Structure formats: C-alpha cells, structure tokens
Structure 1
Amino acid sequence: MNQNKHRNDAEPTKPAFFSKTVVDDDKPPPYVHLAYNVDPDLEHDENELNDVHHNQPVYLNYNDTEESLISHHPFDNTCKFPIIATYPEDLSSYRVGERLRRLKCENKEFPMASQDSEGYLYVHNHWEHFKNITTDVKCKILIIEGGLRNPITNKGKDVFTPVKVYDAIVNKRLWINADSYLVRCEREGELVWEKPFAGMRDVNKLKNTMTVEKDVNSLNPYGLKLRKAPEIVPDRYSVDVIGFDSTARTMFFRHMPRTVDTMNKLGYHFLYGYNKVGDNSEINLGPIFAGDIPEHKLQPKFDISGDLNMDWIFPQHSKLNPDNIQFLWKLMKEKYGCRTMLNEDISRKFYGLFTYPAYEYLPGFTELPTDHYYRAYYLAVYNKWKYGPCKNSEQVQREFLDLWYRFGQKYKNICHFGFTFFTTLTHESGLLLETLDEYLASRLAQLNMTGALDNSLSMIMSDHGNRLGPQQYTFSGRVEERMPLMAIRLPNDFARKYPTEYAHFLKNKFKLTSNFDIHQTLKDIVTMRMGQKNVVREGRGLSLFTDIPKDRTCRDVHVVYNFCTCMIDRSNDTNVSPQDKRKYVVGDTRPERVRQKSQEAINNWLQETELNKCVNSTSLEIKDKINTLSVNPYVRHGFRKQTNLTNNENLKIWRHKLDYFYYEMEVSATTVSGDAISMLFRIEQEVKRKLFNVVFEPFVQIAPQQCYRPSLIETCSCLLKGFKQTTVPNIK
C-alpha cells in the first residue's frame, strides 16, 4: 500500500466487523441459539442463586446539597462500553479468583540493619534476637550509583558500582544522603549478610555522606517540645502517581477492598470508560507521561488493515533516545524547579520502562532523568535474584511502596512530580496484589493525615489489565485487559478554585477516555492552566477538565479496533461456527424470552434495592426496541494486532464465544406519586448459567422536572424527600 496514502487524515476503510458483525448466513434463523463451550452433561439451574450480583437496599436520604455520584450516566454515550461486575462468574474459579490477604515470608535470616518509615538507617549487628549475640561481625555501608547508559558505548544501564564506603555506626539513627546503598556485614572476611536499601537524599546537602541524627527532632534533649517553623504552602500543585502493572479497575476492586474503601473516603474518582490505546506497558505509559513526541509524525497513520498504526500512536520501532523525550516530570523540573522521582520496580536487571526493549529505545538514560532515580537500587535488589514476593525474609514490595510514601511526605510543601510503578506483584496474576491491600490503605490514610495529599493530584493507575494469566481467555478477562485501573484524587481546594473544570471532571469519569486524555489532564496540573481562558492544548487527547463529547468513538480516542471495548450490535450473531461440530450448552435470545427475563430482572432489582418504594413495579413497560450488544470479535478472541490479515479472515469462521450479552431497553413506569418516568436499562445475560441481571443502575431519561437526575437513586431520593431543583429534564 502506498505509504503517502497513509499520511493523510482521511478516514480509512474499516476492517471487517468494524460496523457490524459478520455472520455466516445473511438470513438469521427465527431465533438465535447462544453457545458456551462447557460440558453438555452439566446441569444448570435457571433459578440458581447468583450471589455475584446480589443487590442491597440503597440509601435514599440523598439531598440537593450533596455532590451527585453520577453527574453523567455511562449509558448516555455513543460508545457502549461494558461495565462488568466486580466478581463475574468467569473470573470466580480457583485459578483466577484466589484470595490471599496476608503474605508470610520464610524467616531464613535475621536482619542486621533496618530502615524506619522516614528512611533513616539503623545497624544492629550484635543483638540479632533474644538470647543470641552475634559476635565479630562488622558492617559497612556502600553507596552505589549506576543504571545509566554510556553515550559512547551504549552500555551501563544494567550495572551498578559502589562509589563510597563507610564503616557502619551501630545502634544510631543514621542518615545516608544517597538514593541507593548496600549494607554489607562480614565476619573475618566472609559475607554473612547483605541487603540493598533505598534512601532519599536531601538535594540541599552534600550527597553520599553519612551523619548521625536525633531520634526525635521535635523535642530538646530533656524532652521539652520545640516550636517548629510554619509550613509553606506551595503555589503550584504537585503530581503523585503510583501504578500497578497489569491491573484492571475491577481486578483492583476485587483484590484491594480496604484500599478502595479508603480511596472512596479520601475522594478518589475511578474512570469507568477508560480504554487503553495499545498492548503493553511502553505504548500505554508513553502517551500518558510524554504525550505526542515528534517521532510519531514520521510514521504512517494507518497500517495494512486500515486501522490506526501502532507506531503512529507511539513509536515502538524507532530506538528512541529517552534523554530526548519530554516527559511531564522533566517539564516540571526544568521549567518550574519542582522535585521529581522515577521509582520503577524493573523486575529484572535488563528490563525497564523507556529503556527496553532495544528496538524501541536506546538502552537507558545517560544522566539522571529525575532528582531521585532508583534504577541502581533495583539493580542491586535483582542482582542474581529472580523476582518474587519475598526477599530477605520480608515482602520486598512494601519497601518499593515506602519510596512512594516517603517522596509524598518529604516534598508535601514543595512542588513535585513522582512516578512509582510496580511490576512484580501483578504482572502474571492479581492474586498477590491483595497482600498489599491493608498496607497501601494505611499509607494512604497517613498521607492524608499529614496533609501530604492536600496540594497534589494523586493518581493510582495501571498500564493495562492482565495479559498473561488464565483470566485472559475469559470474556470478562478480555474486557479487563482493555480497561485498566485509573483513579484520580484532586487537590483539596481544586473544586473551590476551579468549579467549571471540576464539574467537567465529574462528568468525564463516565465517558470514553484514553491515555492521551490523561496526559492532557496532567499537563493542565503541571502548567497550572486551569481557570485560564482560550487555553490552547497541543497534541492528541482532551483534558478531563474540559467538556468531553459524549459521542466519542474509539477512533476519536486513538484506540484501535482490537482494543476497543465499545460494544456492537450482535442481534444476528449465531455464536456458532458451521465448521465446529462440538456440543454446547445453549441459551436462546428469542425476543419474547429476553423481554420476559429482563422484566423479571428489573422487578427483582427494584425489590432488592428497595427502589420499588419509588417506582411502581406493576407499571413497568419495556418499549418495543431492544438492542443486543456485546464486544467485537477481535476483542473476544484477544487479538494483539490486526496486521495478520489471515487471522482477520479467520474470524469469519471462528465461533465468536459470546459468553455474555447485554440488552439495552427503554422502560417506562410511574412513580408512587403518579408521575411518569422513563429509564434506559442494561440487562446482562450470562449464557452459561442462563442468568439475567441489571447492570449498574438505569439511566433516567425523563422524570419530573424538579427531581430530574441521571441517577435513578438520586431521582427517587428527591421524589421521596421532596427537595426541589431547577435542573431541566434531559429528554432523549
């Protein structure tokens, strides 16, 4: 294909299945059988109790002074992205649904040095444990540096080197003014214990030094409390980001319940329509932290399939020099003088974001990219060790998390940008993430208590969902892979200072968004351009602080079709390949059957949530048109790319494996006060167990003017409590 043809912005020819599902017969049968590949002899009780979707009575004391929880309804979008249950049936088996609340590491050795929560070091090589004395052991502190590329040889990123050595002072509170160091203990020249530590050097003091510090700085030597200088509030917002590899929003909900509960209390907002733009970490993190880079314009916009070229989204075969990439932390440091940190759990010494693989990047930075860069520390951690949850008899990831915590505490009164990224716990599965749940929740609570969150945009996110574990073969796993975790907490005074931007933000968390939108949002914070008129935002993406259109498509947010979660019409899909002779457990989608089961599901939902106090169940009427939706075949089959045209053609004969169907329908009813109300319901059909359930909550389309809200719960709160509003009803 002519490359020049790729370079224009004309809409390309859409790949197969882009606008509708291709089926084997242009004339569908009178009704459609849905297939699910399970043991045909397995019995399924149609009335089986579905504890996964158990609903609870809702709180109906909402009043008009409270912030709406659904200021824009996710069903009110052109893109019908799926909202799957937190505990879906196909992710509840023992292989993918294991729960592990606490991790116990085998105690193979006793530590001879340890750090406190502020990063001070204590060396205790004599008294190891009660009644045991370690004799003749001498410890040294080796400050290490490295992890940088030699610009001449292009080597060095995988090497660390001791640059200074100190004899350890025992049983004192030591400050090692370096970011990375080792404590090495020997007896008569033989190594008996060694461990890497991560410090956080004071950039205003001489680096690579060791000093003895007071245990309590707030008291004089006799215990009298000292006055402290008043804290200075910076005139710029800061950015604190912590990321977990391969973690979907719903996976995070499943395995981090205490953290999620804490985040909700602290005011974090989860993005429900956030869709990744590419396959792996590099292509998903680059657009967030670097946005558009000049090299992408050198690539053709479309590939041979007619869809967006992945190298145009973010170059993956250009051997980029990471020194030249204008990361947001670089902008914040160089232009605004803020402190910066890049804290990446590399998992193996030759890996690393923005330094690997060789066809994407030159091997490493040639100089420190941030004030605190921890590659040398992680090289020491992973030296002759393959990653796992335990090291030195402890859960090593807690130490990685503490760097994120200490950076936020240290610079809470100084503008800063910190990025911490975990790989080892979640790259293969989500099980071990749960072992950090209560620890992360407590760290968040402490940051809030000390005011470290007050002036920062705090973001807890992922690059993508799980791509490697057994869950990837399930329907819900395919969706989760494409809809990663993205949660944002805004500075305490943001809503007061920038009410327009805040109102847009609340609506946009329920709209289709992608990585480039996050970049524009972070850039707004970095450059402090909120509240300004006629702001020109260069590059792709729309800030969450602007009015994002609800009619966006995957093409608008630069998401290729095989990663696009916008559901398509599957009403004529037989779900069975004529070449596949196996037997399947089937369910049918005859219109009268769907209507009957949907009516039952809605009635049950109203009763369980006690919203039947507001909506008269006997007055429910499902309108004639019911839309049948599910993900496109490229998504369900887990395509990583579309450039294999043979595989694209095979989709026409492969079974589409539609384990879940979603039916959208308009439902009219009357309220208990006799007023008319119209709602858009989405019903999930789980084919395997023949279950129908209400998804999320319905979108209110028409309601009494004084009580209209997109949320049925909030609308009913108004109708039952009688408070007044001036909002005009949003009639579809």
Structure 2
Amino acid sequence: MFLYFLQPNLSVIGRRGRLNVMADKRLLLERCDTTETERLVVHLAKGPKGRLLPCSCLLRRKSLLGLIGTLIFCYFLIGRAEWARVLDLDGLHSDNYYTVHHSSDVPGMDGFLVYSNSCKIKEVDPYKPEVMRHFKRVKYVPCKKQPPLTYVQFNELSQSYFLSMNGSAFPHYKVGSSIHCCYMEVHRRNETEVAYSKCHRFTHQAVLPNTVEGIIVKCTSNNEQIYINGHATIPVKRDVQQRLRVSVDRKEKQRPPSVLMLGIDSISRANLIRAMPKTAQYLYDNEWFELAGYNKVDDNTFPNIMALATGYDLTSANRECSPYVVGGLEKCKFIWNLYGEHGYVTAYGEDAIQINTFNYLKEGFVKPPVDYYLRPYLSAAEDKLQRTIVMGLPHCLGYETAAEHVYDYAMEFTRRFRNDTYFGFFWTNTHSHSDISQTSSMDAYMVRYLERLVRQGTMDNSVVVFFSDHGLRFGPTRNTWSGHLEERLPAMFIWLPTHLRQAHPKIVEALHLNRNRLTTPYDLHMTLKHILALSGRTDGLESLGSAPSCPQCQSLLRPVPEQRACADVGIEDHWCTCWSYDKISTGSKQTKQLALHVVSHINEFVHGFRNGSVAKLCMPLTLSFVKSAYQAHRNALDPENMRTVRLTLVTLPSNALFEATVRHNQTDDSMTVTGSVSRLNMYIGESDCVLDSAAKKYCCCRKNKTKKG
C-alpha cells in the first residue's frame, strides 16, 4: 500500500499504463502492485503542456518521515515554481491555472510548434513562473447593475430600426411623476469629428431613419438626468442593397462564403491559453484550425494589419498609401475593398478611438472605408456616455465595455446579412492592449459570444478568423525570455463551415498540415483572396494577385512548404522565432561592439528621419550598458559564416531599454541591424516632441533635458 499526495487534475502513471486515481486535494490510499509503481511519475496537468514531470512520490506505509522527505524531494526535483502550483506558494494561486487540453506541437517533436531544417519554433509554456508572477486572473464586472432603459431592434417588415423603451427596467430607476426621453443622431464629419442632431423626443417607441447609424439617448425625470446610453445600428442603404441584388441575380449554385474577422490586440498564442483558457478550449474542442507557427512580421499593430489587409510591408505601405498624408490610405486597395467590388457588404469596427490602427498618429480615412463603419458612433460614445478608464484606455462606455460595443456591432452586422455575403473586420484593443491579465475578464464572455454566433447561424456560411497581431510589447513580462517569444507569436485560428469542409477536403488537409508550419500575415492576406476566389465571382486566385511585399507567400488553404525560413516569407531576423539562443557574455569586446553598432544605428535613423526634421528635437543616445546577450543556434540551412545575436541594452540620457537583433558576418566583420529596434520600457512624456510613431520610441526630447537641468 502506498500513499500519494495528489492535487486536482493529477494522475499517476506506471509502466503498465495509467492508474485511475481520483484526485481531490486530499491524501489518498491506493493499493497497487510494486512492479506497477517502480517508475511512477506525477502528471501535472496544469504544468507546461501537461508534460510528465518525474517525481518519485512513493511513501512507505505509515511513514510520516517518508511523507515529509518525499514532499521535500519533489519540491526540489520539479522546481519551486511548479510545486507552488500545488501548494499555492509565492502568490501563485491555483485559481490562476486552467488546464487547456490541446495538441499543438509537431507530432513526435514535443515542445516544438515548428520543426524543420530551416525553422525550429519552440512552444512557449503559458505558465512559466517568470510570467505568472505578473499574472492574476481578473473578474468580469458589469458596467451597470441596472438594465438599460432603451433598446433598438430591426423590423424586417418596415426595413427600419425601432428605438423602444424597456418597460421591465423602470423599477430600477428613480422615475418621478413623469419621464422625458429623447435621442440625438450621430453623424460623421470626418475621422476626428462627429455632429449631433437636435434631441428628438419620443415616448414609448420611435422609428429611426435609415440615414442614422448611431444614436445617443437621454432620459430625465423631475428635471434630473436619470439615463444616458448609446446604440449603434446597421440601417438599410440603397447602394448596398443594389450591390447585393446584382449578386443574387447571378443565380449562383451555392451562396459564396462570407468572412468574419475577430481580432484581439496584443494577445499571444500563449496568453490566449493562459488568460482565456475557456475560449482556447472552445476553439480546440470545436474543430477550429490553429496556425501554431503564425509569426508576426513587424513591431506593432499597423504594419501587421497592413500586411494582411493589403499585402504591403511597412516601407511599401508608407510609400504606396502613406497614412501620414490626408487621403493617403485611400490609395491602397484593402482586402475589404476587394470584397466590396465582388458583391459583398463590408464593415469595420474598432474600440479605443485614440489608438485606432489607422488613426493613432495618422490621418485615417477621408471617407468611410467600408459600408458600415463603427468609428463615428464610438467617438460619440466616448464623448457622451459615462466612461471608466482601465490601463489608460476606455473600459466602460455606458452600460457596456468598449469591446462589447464592437462585439454587439459584429453580431448585429452578421445577423442582418446572414442570408447575404459579407466581409466584416472587428478589432478590440481595450481589454488586451496594456496588460497580460486584463483580457482574462473577457474569457467566459467570449465563449458565450462564439456560441451565440453559432445559434444565430453565422458559422453556417462564414469563414471566421479569430486572431491577433502580436503579443504584449511592453512591461515586465516582455523583458522575459517567454515575453520575447510571445510577442512574436500571436494567436491564429480559422473556422471553416461544414459545407466547405465537405466540398474541399484538400483545404481541410492543408489547414491540418499548416498548423505546424511557419506562417505569416502575408499568408493570411492570400488566404482571404483565396476565399474570395471560392465565391466563383472572380477568375480564380491568380487573377487577384499576390501579396506585393511577399510574392512567395501563399494561401493557407494550400500546403505551406515545410522548409520555410523567415527570410523566405518577409520576416526580418529580429521578429523571427525560428532559432533557439544561448547566453553569451555581455562584457566581451565583441558584444560591446555589436551594442555600439545598435546605438549608432538608432542615432542614424533619427538623424535621417523626415529629412532630419526630427533630429533637432531629440538628443543623441549613448550606450550605458548591455543588459543581456544571446547568440542563435544555426539551423541546418543557415549560412555558416553568419552569427545572429540578440541584445538588450540601456541607453542614456533616459535609461531607455532596447532590444535589437544583429547579423554579424564573420567573413568581413560587417554588422547589420535587422528589423526595427524594439523599445521595451515606456516612454510616455519622454518623446512628446515627436508625433510619428516610427521615431517616437527612440527619441528623448531636448526640452526634457532643459526642464531637468
């Protein structure tokens, strides 16, 4: 008879297989044959990837000393942090860990997401202690305790929206002898301004004109405002209806698939599993296709979204359709424009208007880029509704979070056009942008949301992409080894409707195969074109062209070559996750030379930026010290004379923390900084003299020095 110390989700493994031992946080007695237990291991299901960790937790019967000794032995053998998961040491509370059952690594290559002669991407442990010490699950808290007084609903008969009072909500408000309600129409003036109509009075119900895409509602009683809320709508538009009618007149044998893009900013694949385990498990359990080797191609949101939306890298995008010039963005054909030209209705929604992808330190769009554009309504909501701020971004806007306004809009858009063809792109920043923990508050909500889409019938004829742009780019977790990898490996899942799976088994086979291949946003761009080609409304995928900045990139609905290197698919070394690294000396002469080259590179970039106009505003940087240095393991197909070194270094005068990747040619001793240099610590208030995001992260304004002096 043996005594086992077991935690929930622990099981005991022997040479003859698994012994089914019930685990319930208590000491259990289990009889078993000694030959069965010669090599027992404890399976910590909440450990990294559910790996088997050796721990000879065998105790002789009635042996208290054996119990104590074994616990101590296991503690040191599996590690303090792992043991903390069991005993809740060091603040690593067990409710922070949720097991996600999945198999994302390469078959036969445990611990790798991609494994080939040209690329080896290690899987990131979501629960690594260096990250978990900064993570704490956040509870979802409703923005208001009482239900809203009003709601809007589309009437199919009249083809209009009705604004109605919610009679059951009245008991929750201080309503006097009378109540007076009115609504203001929200109209877009430009990207930064909206206009409001006069406040139209209504009693129980009002029909909204089809020229209105958003309203703000107010109610007063006894001369006191007791209610304010907002509603976004998807009204009937003649030009959209005409486009859809033309498509119907084609008498297509089968309705082409629609596309729904659901994006979450700054959430890595690992943080999806860590912070949104219920959502991750839902995706795995319901046969979504994961792209586990999906690697970002540049630093922040804009270039990664431009890669998938236009096929351009940052340099090409700035040249072809500069976002810094009024009307510049209109010069590029976005993927939603392409869908619109082929009979699809289009929509775009994004929360946190100040940091919107196409507006932060940019000019945005002169005209709405899509048929249904949420930005004007959210501008009004942030302006008029009761607002709370979390991590520097809007959280609650009236009765819902800013993100929920976007999700509601996406739900209504897909509901309104469920019998037509649409392309919807919906992006949220507010619950994920600034912290690894905050997005955990939306986990259960997101599962319910995806289930609602299923019940609504959205998934029956829509290809759905659930994705991100990159992992967290700032803060204490980013400074860790895990954070370095997480930042470069965003979440990526694709849903295919059943009828598409049945009609195209080779696509299903390709998506299964591509799970463990190196993939990029350029591939996603080509995938979206491939889906459009499946509509039968084009002359085939080839007629839609390649991704301009990555002509060798391809649709993910076809098998991706196994021997893919980052250089083959438009990924600079700095963003590439295909190498493992060994630590090297930070004090060596060679390392210092590489670091000085990085600082010189930054200074030259700032000096030449915008014809030198920025250089006079910013102080030159000097090297303070090298914080860490790592050298990459060469893959089999890498050139032998090339070293790839990753450095983190601190510069003066502002103690800026940078991360850079340098290629050192050992034949001619030349050094090349690849990709842009990452800024790892915050620079709020330090570079206010520069408005361009490309140079802002490198600048320490001269006026700051004057103020300090």
- Which of 546, 555, 558 is residue 543 of structure 1 equivalent to? 555
For 1:197 and 1:75, locate their aligned partners in 2 and report how far apart those are by CA, in whole Å: 49
In structure 1, C-alpha distance between the alignment counterparts of 2:457 and 2:108, rounded to whole Å: 28
- The corresponding residue for 1:98 is 136
Counterpart in the other structure of 1:180 = 214
Q: Which amino acid aligns with 2:188?
A: G
2:176 pairs, out of 127, 130, 134, with 134
2:200 to 166, 185, 201: 166
Report how far residue 494 of structure 1 moved: 2.1
- Per-residue Cα deviation, 1:280-313 (whole angstroms, up to 9, x for no partner): 11111011111138x955x9xxxxxxxxxxx689
In structure 2, distance between residues paired with 1:565 and 1:169: 60
Shift of 1:501: 2.9
For 2:570 and 2:221, the matched residues in 1 are separated by 60
CA distance in 1, matches of 2:445, 2:600: 38
- Structure 2 counterpart of 1:241: 261
Cα shift at 1:113: 2.4
Find 2:579's aligned residue among 567, 588, 598: 567
Task: Output one character per residue of 1:407-460: Cα deviation in whole Å (capped at 9) or x when no partner.
Answer: 222222211000111011111013221222222211211222332112111011
Once residues 288 and 58 of structure 1 are traced to their aligned partners in structure 2, the CA distance between those partners, rounded to angstroms, is 28
Unaligned runs of 5+ in 2: 1-74, 87-96, 156-160, 242-251, 606-619, 637-709
1:375 is matched by which residue type in structure 2? R
Amino acid at match of 1:353: T
Specify the alignment match of 1:509 in structure 2. Answer: 515
Task: State how far apart, in whole Å, the 1-side matches of 2:474 and 2:365 are.
Answer: 29
Question: Which residue does 1:113 correspond to in 2?
Answer: 150
* Aligned partner letter, 1:333: G
The reply to whether residue 262 of structure 1 matches residue 282 of structure 2 is: yes
1:463-487, Cα deviation, whole Å (9 max, x unpaired): 1111123211111111111111111
Measured at CA, do residues 425 and 188 of structure 1 come closer, stay the same or move farther in structure 2, by a change above 3 Å? same
* Partner Cα separation in structure 1 for residue 577 and residue 148 of structure 2: 49
Report the Cα distance in structure 2 between the residues aligned to 1:142 and 1:233, rounded to whole angstroms: 44
Partner of 1:45: 76
Question: Is residue 2:160 matched to residue 1:144?
Answer: no
Amino acid at match of 2:377: Y
What residue is the counterpart of 1:197 in the other structure?
231
- Residue 380 (structure 2) pairs with residue 383 (structure 1): no
Q: 1:277 aligns to what SS in structure 2? A: coil
Per-residue displacement from partner, 1:313-343 (whole Å, max 9, x unpaired)?
9967666622232111111112x22111111
Shift in Å, 1:56 = 13
Report the Cα distance in structure 2 between the residues aligned to 1:513 and 1:327, rounded to whole angstroms. 20
Instruction: Confirm whether residue 278 of structure 1 aligns to residue 298 of structure 2.
Output: yes
AA matched with 2:359:
T
TM-score w.r.t. structure 1 length?
Answer: 0.60
Query: What per-residue deviation string (whole Å, max 9, x for no partner) do you get for residues 2-52 of structure 1?
Result: xxxxxxxxxxxxxxxxxxxxxxxxxxxxxxxxxxxxxxxxxx934436369
**Aligned 1:16-415 pairs, distance under 5 A:** 45-48=76-79, 50=82, 74-76=114-116, 78-93=118-133, 96-105=134-143, 107=145, 111-115=148-152, 121-124=163-166, 128-129=170-171, 132-146=174-188, 148=190, 157-163=191-197, 165-170=199-204, 172=205, 177=210, 178-187=212-221, 191-203=225-237, 235-292=255-312, 321-334=328-341, 336-348=342-354, 351-358=355-362, 363-383=363-383, 387-392=393-398, 394-415=400-421
Partners of 2:291 and 2:377 in 1: how far apart?
Answer: 33
Check the 8 A contact 1:126/1:133 in 2, yes or no. Answer: no
Q: Distance in 1 between matches of 2:629 and 2:621?
A: 13
Task: Tell me which amino acid in the other structure corresponds to 1:376.
Answer: P
Which residue identity lines up with residue 169 of structure 1 in the other structure?
Answer: T
**3-state SS in 2 of match to 1:577:** coil
Higher strand share: 2
- Say yes or no: does 1:577 pair with 2:577: no
- Identify the residue that residue 527 of structure 1 maps to in structure 2: 533
Q: More deviation in 189-198 or 261-270? A: 189-198
| C-alpha contact (below 8 Å) 1:123/1:168 kept by paired residues | no
Judge conservation of contact 2:323–2:358 (CA < 8 Å) in 1. Answer: no
Distance 2:585 2:319 in 1: 34
CA 1:234–1:165: 2 relative to 1, 3 Å: farther
**C-alpha displacement at 1:366, in angstroms?**
2.6
CA distance in 2 between counterparts of 1:440 and 1:47 reads 34
Q: Percent identity?
A: 22
Q: 1:650 to 1:80 in 2, by over 3 A?
A: farther
Deviation at 1:68, TM superposition (A): 12
CA distance in 2, matches of 1:663, 1:550: 17
Q: Distance in 1 between matches of 2:635 and 2:311?
A: 36
Cα deviation 1:596-651 (Å, max 9, x = unaligned): xxxxxxxxxxxxxxxxxxxxxxxxxxxxxxxxxxxx99xx9xx9996558999979
The letter for the 2-side match of 1:182 is I
CA distance in 2, matches of 1:285, 1:130: 43
Which of residues 495, 504, 510 is equivalent to 1:498?
A: 504
Secondary structure of 1:389's counterpart equals strand
Q: Deviations over 1:91-126 (max 9, x none)?
A: 111xx211123225465x874324579986432589
CA gap 1:325/1:273 in 2 versus in 1, 3 angstroms: same
SS at match of 2:629: coil
Q: 1:388 to 1:517 in 2, by over 3 A?
A: same
Alpha-carbon distance in 1 for matches of 2:187, 2:562: 49
C-alpha spacing 1:80/1:127, structure 2 compared with 1 (3 Å): closer
The 2-side partners of 1:641 and 1:502 are apart by 49
Using a 3 Å threshold, how does the CA distance of structure 1 residues 280 and 533 change in structure 2: closer, same or farther? closer
2: CA distance between counterparts of 1:648 and 1:272? 38
* Structure with more helix by fraction: 2
Asked whether the equivalents of residues 234 and 413 of structure 1 are also in contact (C-alpha less than 8 Å), the reply is: no
Structure-1 separation of matches of 2:504 and 2:137: 41
Paired position in structure 2 for 1:602? none
In structure 2, what is the Cα distance between the partners aligned to 1:71 and 1:517?
Answer: 26
Select which of 647, 650, 656 maps to 2:629.
656
CA contact (8 A) 1:125 1:139 kept: no
What value does the CA root-mean-square deviation take over the aligned residues? 4.6
Residue of structure 2 in register with 1:217 after alignment: none
What is the one-letter code of the residue matched to 2:79?
Answer: E
Q: Distance in 2 between matches of 1:237 and 1:206?
A: 18
Paired residue type of 1:354: F
Decide which moves more: 47-56 or 255-264: 47-56
Contact kept in structure 1, 2:321 and 2:332, CA below 8 Å: no
Find the residue that maps to 1:453 and give its secondary structure.
helix
- Partners of 2:295 and 2:488 within 8 A in 1: yes
> What are the equivalent positions in structure 2 for 1:470-489 lying under 5 Å apart?
470-489=476-495
Is 2:321–2:331's contact at 8 Å kept on the other side of the alignment?
A: no
Q: Using structure 2 for the length normalisation, give the TM-score.
A: 0.62
Q: Which has the higher contact order (CA 8 A, sep 6+)?
A: 1
Shift of 1:529: 7.3
* Alignment partner, residue 226 of structure 1: none
- Partner secondary structure for residue 383 of structure 1: helix
Q: 1:338 to 1:529 in 2, by over 3 A?
A: closer
| Partner-residue secondary structure (3-state), 2:498 | coil
Q: 1:76 to 1:560 in 2, by over 3 A?
A: closer
